[in-house]
């Protein structure tokens, strides 16, 4: 490791309100979801709300830091709310680490709460003012993320020689992972054939089951200096390297440059170099799964397989719980629930702690059966190093490498 231990940061606590699709009469407010997830993460770390001096959040419909800190009685030295979307989680961990190293913050909580099902559904919010300079996509009927990314995915299939069937393995594998996750919103295993038989959202690339779930829930994590984390309740998970919101050369990805080029090309240099690691050293991945295709492209472009071999990689068994490098072991955003990537970070923290909350009788005490049948275990054997990869658009990514202390 190149970084000095004394200046390293660690994730010391995790918490969530598991994703659901609430009936309106039972729907918690966004503020309730956010504060509950934060309280759960602090309890996990063995800290109190009075210990928190910094809040970082994203996608802050009615849950910005001022509201959350007011309700929880926090006095903050730093708070930052950023525009939301995928890639925010790793980006905010990067900012949290920088603030802690600079001495500007001691205990940082990152959170995300959303009404992805009960609130505004994807693509159906108010139309924004659009100009030809900012990308005249809405006037051509392109609103939702599925509609925005589908041309890139179609081009990826054509170029890489990957097939829809290969990419559908991402969903099938994650659905089996979800079957070992009591929190999962969709815990029933599906097959590749089920994915391909589900109705088309955008032909020829996105079937319904290629798309993430829209759910109501919240996630939170606590970050502090490594030496302090060592005195707290949980085994610390070190943050080895982060790259937050990295852009590709032509951010207007439709219009110029190589259509399927990702920011991952640059982001991978920014994390593997400083961590002193290569893809071979990573035991578990969390590759942003707004769609099966984003996961496939990220795993390929971050170097977990040869260029063009993404479809082969995700259908080879490598990403399964029994494989070389399991991915999105909670079931991810395709099955467990959706909080723009923070839930994928929480899952990898659990994996590195050896505390996957599966159906093993003594799982909570870190004793696992490693029997990966549905309804059984999802703890990965000897998980020491994990990597998360975020995706906002094809031209904006983020990444983070974590390790068990």
Partner 1 sequence: MTNTVIEYRGVQIQIDELERPYFTAAAEGTLLVQECTQCAIPRYPPSARCLACASSQWKWRPSDGRGRVSACVIVERGVRAEFEAPYAVGLVALDDVDVTDHPEHAVRILSCIRGRDGGRLSEPVPDGSPVEVEFEPLAEGFALPMFRMA
Known catalytic residues? 288, 338
**Interatomic CA distance for residues 298 and 328, integer angstroms:** 13
Binding test (CB under 8 A) with partner 1, winner from 146, 225, 243, 284: 146
Characterize the bridge pairing of strands 237-247 and 9-20. Answer: antiparallel
Question: If DSSP codes are grouped into helix, strand and coil, which group holds residue 225?
Answer: strand
Residue 200 found at the interface with partner 1 (CB under 8 A): yes
Distances (CA, A) of 389 to 41, 136, 141, 154, 291: 22, 29, 29, 21, 13
Judged by CB under 8 A, the stretch of 38-46, 200-208, 322-330, 372-380 that binds partner 1 is 200-208
How far apart are the C-alpha atoms of 109 and 97, rounded to whole Å?
A: 11
The interface region with partner 1, picked from 144-152, 166-174, 263-271, 300-308 by CB under 8 A, is 144-152
For residues 110 and 80, is the Cβ–Cβ distance under 8 A? Answer: no
Binds partner 1 (CB under 8 A): choice among 144, 198, 316, 369? 144
Q: What tokens appear for 335 in the block? A: 């099955």
User: Other CB atoms closer than 10 Å to residue 5's CB: what's the count?
Assistant: 10
x/- site string to partner 1, residues 358 to 377, per CB under 8 A? Answer: --------------------
Interatomic CA distance for residues 214 and 335, integer angstroms: 10
String marking each residue 202-241 x if it binds partner 1 according to CB under 8 A = xxxx------------------------------------
Cα separations in angstroms, 312 against 156, 296, 305, 316, 346: 13, 9, 9, 6, 27
Smallest distance, partner 1 to C-beta of residue 147, A: 6
Q: Cα Rg for the chain, rounded, in angstroms?
A: 20
Nearest to partner 1 of 286, 394 (CB atom): 394
**According to the binding rule CB under 8 A, does residue 84 interact with partner 1?**
no
From candidates 154, 173, 243, 352, binder to partner 1 by CB under 8 A = 154
| Binding-site member from 2, 24, 75, 199 for partner 1 (CB under 8 A) | 199
- Residue 196 lies near partner 1 (rule: CB under 8 A): no
By CB under 8 A, which span of 77-85, 168-176, 217-225, 250-258 interacts with partner 1?
Answer: 250-258
**Per rule CB under 8 A, is residue 122 in the interface with partner 1?**
yes
Nearer to partner 1, 230 or 256 (CB): 256
From 11-19, 201-209, 305-313, 354-362, give the range in contact with partner 1 by CB under 8 A.
201-209
d(CA 224, CA 239): 10
Q: How far is the CB of 133 from partner 1 (least distance, A)?
A: 5
* Sequence-separated (6 or more) residues with CB below 8 Å from residue 263: 246, 247, 248, 395, 396, 397
Instruction: Show contacts with partner 1 in window 252-271 (CB under 8 A).
Output: 252, 254-257, 259
Count, residues near partner 1 per rule CB under 8 A: 44
The encoded tokens of residue 86 equal 């995928």
Strand order from edge to edge, sheet including 78-82: 78-82, 54-58, 108-115, 216-225, 9-20, 237-247, 396-404, 385-393, 284-287
Contact positions vs partner 1 (CB under 8 A)? 121-124, 127-144, 146-147, 150-152, 154-155, 158, 199-205, 250, 252, 254-257, 259
């Amino acid at each position: 490791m190149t970084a000095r231990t004394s200046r390293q940061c660690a994730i010391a606590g995790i918490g969530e309100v598991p994703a659901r699709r609430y009936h309106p009469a039972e729907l918690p407010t966004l503020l309730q979801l956010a504060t509950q997830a934060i309280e759960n993460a602090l309890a996990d770390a063995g800290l109190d709300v009075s210990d928190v001096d910094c809040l970082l959040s994203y996608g802050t419909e009615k849950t910005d830091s001022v509201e959350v800190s007011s309700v929880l009685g926090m006095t903050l030295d730093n708070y930052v709310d950023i525009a939301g979307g995928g890639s925010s989680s790793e980006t905010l961990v990067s900012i949290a680490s920088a603030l802690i190293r600079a001495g500007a913050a001691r205990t940082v909580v990152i959170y995300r709460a959303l009404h992805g099902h009960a609130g505004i559904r994807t693509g159906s919010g108010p139309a924004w003012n659009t100009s030809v300079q900012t990308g005249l996509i809405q006037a051509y009927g392109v609103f939702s993320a599925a509609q925005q990314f589908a041309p890139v995915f179609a081009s990826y299939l054509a170029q890489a020689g990957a097939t829809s069937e290969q990419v559908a393995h991402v969903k099938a594998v994650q659905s089996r992972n979800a079957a070992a996750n009591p929190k999962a919103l969709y815990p029933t295993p599906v097959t590749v054939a089920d994915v391909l038989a589900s109705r088309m959202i955008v032909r020829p690339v996105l079937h319904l089951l290629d798309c993430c779930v829209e759910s109501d829930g919240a996630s939170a994590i606590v970050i502090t200096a490594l030496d302090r984390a060592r005195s707290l309740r949980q085994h610390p998970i070190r943050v080895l390297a982060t790259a937050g919101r990295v852009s590709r050369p032509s951010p207007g990805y439709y219009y110029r440059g190589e259509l399927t080029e990702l920011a991952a090309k640059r982001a991978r240099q920014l994390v593997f170099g400083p961590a002193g690691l290569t893809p071979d050293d990573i035991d578990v991945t969390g590759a942003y799964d707004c769609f099966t295709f984003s996961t496939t492209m990220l795993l390929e472009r971050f170097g977990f397989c040869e260029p063009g071999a993404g479809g082969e990689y995700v259908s080879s068994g490598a990403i399964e719980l029994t494989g070389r490098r399991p991915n999105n072991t909670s079931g991810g955003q395709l099955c467990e629930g959706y909080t723009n990537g923070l839930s994928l970070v929480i899952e990898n923290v659990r994996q590195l702690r050896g505390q996957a909350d599966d159906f093993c009788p003594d799982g909570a005490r870190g004793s696992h059966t490693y029997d990966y049948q549905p309804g059984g275990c999802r703890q990965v054997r000897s998980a020491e190093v994990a990597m998360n990869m975020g995706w906002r658009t094809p031209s904006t990514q983020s990444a983070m490498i974590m390790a068990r202390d």
